[in-house]
Amino acid sequence: MAGMLSTSPRLGIFTHKILDQSTLRVGIALFPGFQALDAFGPLDCLNVLSMTHSLTLAVLSSTMEPVTCKTSMTNPHVIGQQIVPTHTFATAPPLDVLLVPGGIGTRGSSQVVLDVIAFIERVYPTLKYLITVCTGSGLAARAGVLDGRKATSNKMVFHEMQALGPKVEWIPRARWVKDGNIWTASGVTAGIDVILAWVEEVYGKETTQAIANEIEHTRHLDASHDPFADLYGL
């Protein structure tokens, strides 16, 4: 799948050409109370990638109703956005990659949380890659797919994640962790770094740096760089 974006700062999005005709099928599993940047950070990187490489995207949830960032666990003054699914978990198309964001909505055992967990467990054997951000790794742990693997998560609630996956080898000091075909990221903004690290492995360094340039993001290249582990005493 190796392809290359021009790194010229003068290159506009309308001059991008498809360099790779093979299509990668991406899905993202959403639930009420997902963290917006957990989802939209990686998705925007993939939006840029799709200017030169063929991708499809399925936005998945329990129902076809719009999915909100807000939950009943937050105060009434909290704002949030909604995203409209393209498929339910029951009607999901075949996928190569599944993204699982975190957020307050990952807590508890509501039906939608159980639906996400069941979907991860069901679809993982058919995936090429599973990528989680923040407490999305807690959902993957509850699905059993992280058992015996290394993984990381949001450092503020790291001990909570450890309790959800006692068979997981949790790595406290990590911006992201790769174990086989599973990539797990630390909190929120780490989702951008993990998706770019994944893009580099699949599509190459030049393509990845061009995406980072286009979104004006300075990458963390060291997966073990994690000041938040110190902040939370891990």
Active-site residues: which are they?
A: 134
Q: How far apart are CA 33 and CA 108, in angstroms?
A: 12
First to last CA, the chain: 38
Q: How far apart are CA 216 and CA 24, in angstroms?
A: 25
User: Are 18 and 54 spatial neighbours (Cβ–Cβ below 8 Å)?
Assistant: yes
Q: How far apart are CA 208 and CA 217, in angstroms?
A: 11
Helix axes 36-49, 190-203, angle to 10 degrees: 30
Task: Say what the alpha-carbon torsion angle 108, 109, 111, 115 is, to the nearest 10 degrees.
Answer: 100
